[in-house]
Amino acid sequence: MESSNPPPQRNGNARVALADGGLMDVVIVVFFLFIALAALVIAAKTIKIVPQATVMLIERLGSFNRLASSGLNVIVPFLDKPRGVYWTNVRPGLASIDLREQYIDLPPQPVITRDNVTIHVDSVVYWQITDPIKAVYEVADLIGAIVQLTITGMRAV
């Protein structure tokens, strides 16, 4: 059987055109993958999930903007960011602030009584944040300040 189609022409330009078409397909796929990755990053920066009994302070361009309560919160990406806290005994840069009652077990402290007798007082301090804005912005180390105020108060007995 003879075919009526002529044999294909071997042309060097045809190979280059075919290779360019394949390269263009790869460029388009990489471009769309980049767009999808950028959209995923923006979506991750837009949605913040705050756990129950915690709050998150949101700063816009470095100044306080609002308080994000527990649940799903939407922020403006690249303008808003959660404020990290750097307190003693707290993971550095922790963004969520626990509103539950907490305690600090202090080591025994020597206390001089009015009749000049030295005794050692063992104490536990229970504390709870009621105003997270003041807790973050009005003292540098909240837990360290609570400990020092407690020790100072015990020595004044």
What is the SS3 string spanning 15-52?
Answer: HHHHHHHHHHHHHHHHHHHHHHHHHHHHHHHHEEEECC
Q: 119: phi > 0 → left, psi -120 to 50 → alpha, else beta; which?
A: beta
What phi and psi, each to the nearest 5 degrees, are found at residue 57? -85, 125
Residue 75, classified by CB atoms within 10 Å of its CB into exposed (0-12), middle (13-18) or buried (19+), is: buried
**What integer pLDDT is reported at residue 18 of this predicted model?**
47
DSSP 10: -
Question: Is residue 114 domain-resident?
Answer: yes
Torsion of CA 12, 18, 19, 21, to 10 degrees: 150
Question: CB–CB of 139/129 below 8 Å?
Answer: no
Question: Is residue 108 domain-resident?
Answer: yes
> What is the domain-level CATH number for residue 119?
3.30.479.30
pLDDT digits (tens, 9 = 90+) for 41-90: 998 889 999 999 999 999 999 999 999 999 999 999 889 999 988 888 77
Residue whose tokens read 């404020």: 83
Most confident of the ranges 13-17, 22-26, 77-81: 77-81
State the chain's mean pLDDT as an integer.
86
Question: Is residue 109 domain-resident?
Answer: yes
Query: Residue 52: CA atoms inside 13 Å, Cβ hemisphere, count?
Result: 0
DSSP 85: B
**What integer pLDDT is reported at residue 23 of this predicted model?**
83
Question: Is residue 130 domain-resident?
Answer: yes
Q: How many CB atoms lie within 10 A of CB 105?
A: 8
Number of domains in the chain: 1
Question: Is residue 73 domain-resident?
Answer: no
**What integer pLDDT is reported at residue 40 of this predicted model?**
93
Question: Is residue 78 domain-resident?
Answer: no
Question: Is residue 110 domain-resident?
Answer: yes
Give the pTM. 0.69
**What integer pLDDT is reported at residue 114 of this predicted model?**
84
Write out the two tokens for 107: 């080591």
The H or E element spanning position 144 is helix 142-155
Report the pLDDT averaged over residues 122-147. 93
Question: Is residue 46 domain-resident?
Answer: no
Q: What percent of the chain is predicted at pLDDT more than 90?
A: 53
Q: Which of 131, 132, 139, 128 is nearest to 102 (CA)?
A: 128
Task: Print the domain residue range for 107.
Answer: 100-157
